Amino acid sequence: MGNVFVIAEHRQGLLRDISLEMLTVASQVTQQNGGDVVAVLLGSGVDSLADKLAGYSDKVLYVDDPLFADFNAEKYQRVLVELIKQNNPELVMIGHTTQGVDIAPALAVEMKIPFVTDVIQIEFADGKLQPVRQYYQGKVNANFAFKGESPYLITLREATLEVPEPSKKGAIEKIDSPLKEDIEYRRFIEYVEAEVGDVDITQSEILVAVGRGIREEKNMPMIEELAKAINADICGSRAATDAGWLDHDRQVGTSGKTVKPKLYIAIGISGAFQHLAGMKGSKTIVAINKDPDAPIFSVADFAIIDDLFKVVPKLTEKLKELKG
Amino acid sequence: MNTFVCIKRVPDTSEAEVKVDASGKDVDSSKFSFDINDADNYAVEEAILIKEKVGGTVKVVCMGPKDSDVMIRMALAKGGDSAIRIDDPRINVIDPLQVAKVLAATIKGQEFDLVLTGCMASDDGNMAVGVALAEELGIPHAAMVKKVELGEGKVKVHRELEGGLSEVVEMNLPAVLTIQTGINEPRYAPIKGIRMAQKKELKVLTLDDLGLSENDVNEAASLVELKNLYIPEVVSHAEIIEGEPEQKAEILAEKLVKGGLL
Amino acid sequence: MNTDLNTEMQSFIQKYDLLGCIQCGRCTGGCPVTVRTNLNVRRIVYDSRNEEVLEELAKLPEIWDCTACNTCAVRCPKGLKPVEVLIGLRNILVEEGSVEPTVRDALESIFREGNPWNKSRATRCDWMEGLDVRIVEPGEKVENLIFVCCTIAYDPKVQGIAKNLVKILNKAGVDYGFIGESESCCASEAHNMGEEGLFEMAIEDNTELLNSYEAKRLVAISPHCYAAFKNQYPDLKAEVIHYTHLLKELLEEKKITITKECAEKVIFHDPCFLGKQNNVFDEPRYILKQVGGAELVEFDRKRERSLCCEGGGGKMWVEGSATKAERLAETRVKDAREREATVLAVACPFCVLTLDDALKARGFEEEMRVAEILEFIGPLVE
């Protein structure tokens, strides 16, 4: 098959993980079916990123131009259209990230090319690429087929695989920007860091939640230590806030807050129906509880059925070790 | 400021068992409850806050079956002025680009400054319709918007990036914004308001009314094909970690760190 | 006053007869939540006479601390309903759309799916799985039409209440029928949260549905549904009773007997919506007394003086501002423990939830359990 284009993602001078993840998938695809992995880097003075990408690609197309000092979806689109037309890759990969979803759909519309979003893996059926995506928050998988002529466009889900050590040494080809002038209709202004202040658990990415299973307030430091080790905020069930272990604004459930963090670690929470309603939308749920019938396990992704007082300290210790 | 806000009726499958139906290309939705898509609800609220602040109109656009009227009426009760529902079984709703094409045909030619959509539909998770719609309309866009500041002929928005960072961009109007949840707190639509909203205009249109040909937006016209659906092997069934308590803790720690969850 | 008058035409003062208030303060004196919050019912009734400040009053956080237990109305010497004044203030917020998200979600769920728990209507009868339940269709004749209640239908913690009722009814061989998936929330709690429009709509829709059966009696399992149907649904054709009425009848007629003995010390907590609001005090006690080997003891605060568990008045969906002192449910379980009760018997799903939480918070799991009457006697009935 033809080449695979991977649109590298970077921000504030750093390469985003998705870039290497995409290159890894692209390598798997080309190993089976031929073609080169081509990383496409749009930036300004980011040579070190080009070098890093080269370790995972057969070629790096590097547009080094002050026009790309900051991300701008409209500019990316204009350039990518030109590069794709000139090079005619078989497959174009963009991250299914806040950056990627700002570009890919418009690019697909403009180029009138087949487009599948949020792909979790790429399979082959009858010698053809078959992207797999999900529906209903991961409850159903769907096999897709591209129709018509390549190039094909996908956005790839983040964090679906481990990135190996670099094994390639692609040539870095600096090319002139096909876009010569800045565009007027969309302007990058600045990056703004998140405000630091009182914790709003509805905005937390990682939550450690406690329930009555921790029994007494004097056990809270054990939880705080775990939360600190993984940069999590602490929340709790109604029982925990009622008991005064936590402020009421940290209560999760129908009478408290609804949270949807990336990771929710429920410790000693049985999972009353009212509590589950407030946290079931979390992306990944870990439950630690000694009751095998605790309803929390019905929504959990990982379950430890055991004495939390034995599990939690060890978990904290191991996490600290792994996270260095 | 005249705003179009696009909404979708979606099932809540967070606790429901999802089964693939006999066609192999759809799921059995008979046991689902339905509501307005979460992000769309925030988009509606944002449109109404804008109207309350600077005046203008809010028009609700929804592609979907008659059952969507409940969600449309709720949006009208909150402050929407009128609504259009596109109901045509020939539209291939699987393909977000075709959905965008239909929405564009609905909005094109009308007077507007802003189009708001949710940034993601919770059922298909494409995160594509809003940005594709902007391209179809030939106007700028910003995805994942968490803050909107209106200016003269322009709009400044904060796009929510990973890790709490925001990217501030400014665009000329008209523009399409895909709204992220949490941008505001959607208000309640009281039943008295919903009843009064029965008087507001709700037009139901088909492809013919939009001047679109079936061959633009049906399954055959799509450049992608959904071949089949299947239930992945491990779905919402907890992986039970076995061993002695301390072993369990170590295994979990490794899963969290190596699985990229931390 | 002509009750057909559009309520919006009435002033707030007229609607709640605020000028009839003599400011005796018995409402506040009896209000069980005053120990926990700044809520002063008398004061709010007084301030509400100035219609210009209603919006401000509605914004007071303690408006949401009221549990709608009705003690204030029971005690008012002028026959006023101070609780309804608080609900009227909540209504101002509802009509503005500015209620807590949890309240919003519960109300929207009632509107869309007929229950406040954001559950699919299509799964309302999932609890019946594996049970031999008779479901009746509109037009059918049935002696006892059973109304389950949303919380009992959907919350696994209290589904056992309905399951045990089915077993008992089947054993008794009585003519009964359940409504099935078309059963919709009585909206009593919607009313208590100030959503008058939704409550009115529910009354219309439910009256039409319930009257479509040839039912002699409508048997509510939850006191909240019972109180609403009995007192706030004027056009129901069937006689409204609580399941404890039916159960007492079945025991008296020997259609069921409690055969198994049970050496427990049982204390009964009168639910507000059953007891002080509807004077159903004796039926639950009669049933509990039929349990051989069990001893029935009483709270000091019993019958019309029963202490509210704080489960009603929308409290399942809003935390309110009450932070002073312990939860009333905790006071209740402590009192029960002092009486050395081993079973805290209740007849309301909300009471089960609040009291069971309190019992666990107090760490009384070993010594005592909270049991709804049906769950308590179900296994003892032959």
Give the ipTM of the model, two decimals please.
0.91
pLDDT score for B172: 97
Query: Chain B residue with minimal CA distance to C193?
Result: B190
Strand A115-125: give its sheet, edge to edge.
A171-175, A59-64, A37-43, A4-7, A91-95, A152-156, A115-125, A128-135, A140-146, B224-230
Is there a domain that residue A189 lies in? no
Q: What is residue C3's predicted lDDT score, i.e. its pLDDT?
A: 43
- Is residue C138 within 8 A of residue C213, CB to CB? The reply is yes
The verdict on A94 and A231 lying in the same domain is: no
CB contact under 8 A, C357 and A239: yes
Q: Are A265 and A232 in contact (CB under 8 A)?
A: yes
Contacts of B22 (CB under 8 A, 6+ apart): none
Specify the pLDDT at position B198.
95
Q: Which residues of B touch C (CB under 8 A)?
A: 12, 16, 30-35, 70, 74, 78, 185-195
End residue of a domain, out of C35, C66, C96:
C96
Same-domain check for residues C283 and C373: yes
Q: Which pLDDT band holds residue B163 (cuts at 50, 70, 90)?
A: low
Rounded to an integer, the average pLDDT of C248-270 is 96
C-alpha neighbours within 13 Å on the C-beta side of residue A177:
18
Q: Which amino acid is at A227?
A: A
Assess if residue B252 is contained within a domain. Answer: no
Across B5-33, average pLDDT = 91
Strands C295-297 and A171-175 turn out to be unpaired
Q: Which band of pLDDT confidence, cut at 50, 70 and 90, is reported for residue A194?
A: low
Q: What is the DSSP letter of A137?
A: G
pLDDT at C9: 55
Query: Could you tell me if A290 and A141 lie in one domain?
Result: no
Say yes or no for a CB contact (<8 Å) between B245 and A206: no
Of the candidate ranges A91-95, A245-249, B232-236, C338-342, the one whose mean pLDDT is the lowest: B232-236
If asked whether residues C234 and C113 sit together in one domain, one would say yes
Does A50 fall in a domain?
yes
Residue B257 falls within a domain, yes or no? no
Pair B50, B74: CB distance under 8 Å: no
Q: Find the residue in B nearest to A297 (Cα).
A: B238
> Is A239 found in the same domain as A171?
no
Q: Among A249-253, C24-28, C53-57, name the one with the lowest average pLDDT.
A: A249-253
**Cβ contacts of B35 on chain C, cutoff 8 Å:** 108, 112
> How is residue A153 written in tokens?
């466009």
Q: Which chains, if any, share at least 3 CB pairs under 8 A with chain B?
A: A, C
Whether A161 maps to a domain, the answer reads yes
How many structural domains are present in chain A?
A: 2
Please check whether residue A76 lies inside any domain of the structure.
yes
The structure tokens 């929407």 sit at B80
Chain A hits for C102, Cβ within 8 Å: 254-256, 258
Is the pLDDT at C1 greater than 50? The verdict is no
Nearest CA distance, B1 vs chain C (angstrom): 23
| C106 neighbourhood in chain B, CB within 8 Å | none
Amino acid of residue B166: S
Q: Are residues C124 and C221 in the same domain?
A: yes
Last residue of a domain, one of C248, C265, C282: C248
Q: How many angstroms separate the CA of residue C96 from the nearest CA in chain B?
A: 8
Residue A249: predicted pLDDT: 81
Using an 8 Å Cβ cutoff, are C2 and C14 in contact? no
C95/B193 Cβ within 8 A = yes
Residue type, B55: G
| Residue A195 pLDDT | 58
Q: What is the mean pLDDT of the segment spanning B68-84?
A: 97
Neighbours of chain A (3+ CB pairs under 8 A): B, C
pLDDT at residue C284 greater than cutoff 90: yes
CB contact under 8 A, B238 and A287: yes
Could you tell me whether strands A59-64 and A171-175 are parallel, antiparallel, or unpaired per DSSP bridges? parallel
Q: Dihedrals φ, ψ of B2, to 5°?
A: -105, 125
The DSSP bridge pattern shows strands A186-192 and B166-172 to be antiparallel
A273 interaction partners in chain C (CB closer than 8 Å): 117, 154-157
- pLDDT tens for B195-221 read 999 999 999 999 999 999 999 999 999
**Residue C247 clears pLDDT 80, i.e. is over it:** yes
Q: What residue of C is the nearest CA neighbor of A257?
A: C102
* Residues C106, C226 share a domain: yes
- The mean pLDDT value for B69-80 works out to 97
My answer on whether A24 and A159 are in the same domain is yes
| C382 has pLDDT over 80 | no
Residue A28 has pLDDT above 60, yes or no: yes
Q: Which comes out higher in pLDDT, residue C3 or A285? A: A285
Question: Average pLDDT, stretch A98-113?
Answer: 97
**Interface-testing mutation among C103, C107, C118, C319, with chain A (most A C-beta atoms within 10 A):** C319
- Tell whether A117 lies on the interface with B, counting CB pairs under 8 A: yes
Is residue C178's pLDDT more than 60? yes
* Largest separation between any pair of C-alpha atoms in chain C: 63
Residue B105 has pLDDT above 70, yes or no: yes
Does pLDDT of C6 surpass 90?
A: no
Residue A246 has pLDDT above 60, yes or no: yes
Which is more confidently placed, C154 or C1?
A: C154
Q: Are residues A72 and A166 both part of a single domain?
A: yes
pLDDT above 70 for C5: no
CB A209 within 8 A of CB A183: no
Q: What angle do CA A288, A293, A299 make, to 5 degrees?
A: 60
Mean pLDDT of chain B: 94
Neighbour count for residue A285 (Cβ, 10 Å):
27
- Give me the CATH number covering residue A274: 3.40.50.1220
Average pLDDT for C216-234: 98
Sorting pLDDT into bands at 50, 70 and 90, what band is A197?
very low
Is residue A53 a contact partner of residue A173, using CB atoms and an 8 Å limit? no
Q: Are C263 and C241 within one domain?
A: no
Whether residue A156 sits in one domain with residue A17 = yes
C-alpha to C-alpha distance for B39 and B176, rounded to whole angstroms: 15
Closest alpha carbon within chain A to C311: A255
User: Which pLDDT does position C274 carry in this prediction?
Assistant: 98
**Is A194 within the bounds of a domain?**
no
Q: C365 or B45: whose pLDDT is higher? A: B45
- Asked whether residue A58 falls in the same domain as residue A128, the answer is yes
C8 part of a folded domain = no
pLDDT at A212: 84
**Which of B30, B185, B190 has its CB closest to that of C95?**
B190
Q: Which residue has the higher pLDDT, B144 or A243?
A: B144
Amino acid A115: pLDDT: 98
Structure tokens at B206: 């088909």
B28 has a chain A CB within 8 A of its CB:
no
B7 and B44 Cβ atoms separated by less than 8 Å: yes
- Kindly report the CATH number assigned to the domain that includes residue A157: 3.40.50.620
Chain C touched by A136 (CB under 8 Å): no
Same domain, C197 and C118: yes
State whether C107 and C221 are in the same domain: yes
- Percentage of chain C with pLDDT > 90? 91
B109 part of contact set with chain A, CB < 8 Å? no
Q: Based on the fold, state whether residues C227 and C151 are members of the same structural domain.
A: yes
Which residue, chain included where needed, has tokens 């507007």?
B112
Q: Is residue B260 part of a domain?
A: no
Query: Residues C40, C88: one domain?
Result: yes
Minimum Cα–Cα distance from B13: chain C residue: C120
Mind listing the pLDDT tens digit for each residue in C130-150? 999 999 999 999 999 999 999
Identify the CATH number of the domain in which residue C332 sits: 3.40.50
Q: How far is CA B120 from CA A97, B76, C144, in A?
A: 12, 21, 48
Whether pLDDT at B74 is above 80:
yes
Residue B122 lies in a domain: yes
Residue C105: closest CA among chain A residues belongs to which residue? A254
Domain count, chain B: 1
Total-model pTM: 0.87
Size of interface B-C (CB pairs under 8 A): 64
**pLDDT exceeds 90 at position A239:** no
Residues A164 and A213 in one domain: no
Q: Does residue C2 register a pLDDT over 60? A: no
Cβ distance A287 to B249 less than 8 Å, yes or no, reads no
The verdict on residue B168 lying in a domain is yes
Q: C287 with C366: CB under 8 angstroms?
A: no
Q: Is residue B235 part of a domain?
A: no
Mean pLDDT (chain C, rounded): 95
In angstroms, the separation between the Cα of residue C118 and the nearest Cα of chain B is 8
Q: Residue A255 and residue A253: Cα distance in Å, rounded? A: 5
Can you give the residue range of the structural domain that contains A303? 201-323
Q: Domain range holding B167?
A: 2-221
> Tokens 């990230």, residue?
A97
Considering only the beta carbons, identify the residue of B169, B229, B252 that sits closest to A140. B229
CA distance C378 to C31: 35
Residue C66 lies in a domain: yes
Q: How far apart are CA B236 and CA C321, in angstroms?
A: 36
Asked if C316 lies within 8 A of A255 by C-beta distance, the reply is yes
Contact yes or no for A256 and C318 at CB 8 A: no
Range of the domain at C333: 252-380
Let me know whether A229 and A163 are in one domain: no
Q: Which helix (H) or strand (E) covers residue A156, if one does? A: strand A152-156
Cβ of A299 under 8 Å from any chain C Cβ? no
Q: How confident is the model at residue A138 (pLDDT cuts 50, 70, 90)?
A: confident
Which amino acid is located at B216 in the chain?
Answer: D
Q: Is the dihedral of CA B28, B31, B36, B40 positive or negative?
A: negative
pLDDT of residue B18: 87
What is d(CA A217, CA C250) in angstroms, rounded to the nearest whole number?
A: 49
Tell me the residue type at C381. Answer: V
Is there a single domain that holds both residue A271 and residue A124?
A: no
Q: How far is CA A151 from CA A100, A130, B11, in A?
A: 17, 14, 34
Considering the domain architecture, whether residues A121 and A170 belong to the same structural domain is answered as yes
| Token pair listed for C350 | 């909300």
For residues B168 and C358, what is the distance between their CA atoms, to the nearest angstrom?
A: 48
- Any domain includes C9: no
Sign of the Cα pseudo-torsion (C127, C129, C132, C133, in order): positive
Q: How far apart, in whole angstroms, are the C-alpha atoms of residue C328 and residue C334?
A: 10
C129 versus A255: the higher-pLDDT residue is C129
- Search chain A and give the residue with CA nearest B239: A302
pLDDT at B233: 67
Domain boundary among C248, C269, C301: C248
Q: Are B91 and B207 a contacting pair, CB within 8 Å?
A: yes
- C5 within some domain: no
Span of B158-167, C333-342, C352-361 with lowest mean pLDDT: B158-167
Residue B83 lies in a domain: yes
- C19 in the same domain as C85: yes
Whether residue C287 is found in the same domain as residue C342: yes
- Residue B133 counted as domain residue: yes
State the pLDDT confidence band at C331, using cuts at 50, 70 and 90: very high
**Domain shared by C223 and C262, yes or no:** no
Residue C326 lies in a domain: yes
Dihedral of CA atoms A161, A163, A169, A174 in degrees, nearest 10, equals 80
Residue of chain A with shortest Cα separation from C319: A255
Number of domains composing chain C: 3
The CATH number that applies at residue C113 is 3.40.50.1860
Q: Establish if A245 belongs to a structural domain.
A: yes
Tens of pLDDT, residues B20-52: 999 999 999 999 999 999 999 999 999 999 999
A260 touches chain C (CB under 8 A): no
Q: Is residue A181 part of a domain?
A: no
Query: What's B145's domain CATH number?
Result: 3.40.50.620
Kindly tell me if the per-residue pLDDT of C4 is higher than 50: no
Stretch A312-319: mean pLDDT:
95
Q: For residues A25 and A169, state if they share a domain.
A: yes
Instruction: State the average pLDDT over residues A33-54.
Output: 97
Closest chain B residue to C195, measured at CA: B190
Tell if the CB–CB gap between B191 and C201 is shorter than 8 Å. Answer: yes
* pLDDT tens digits along A260-307: 899 999 999 988 767 887 898 899 999 999 887 787 888 899 999 999
Q: Do C122 and B195 touch (CB under 8 A)?
A: no
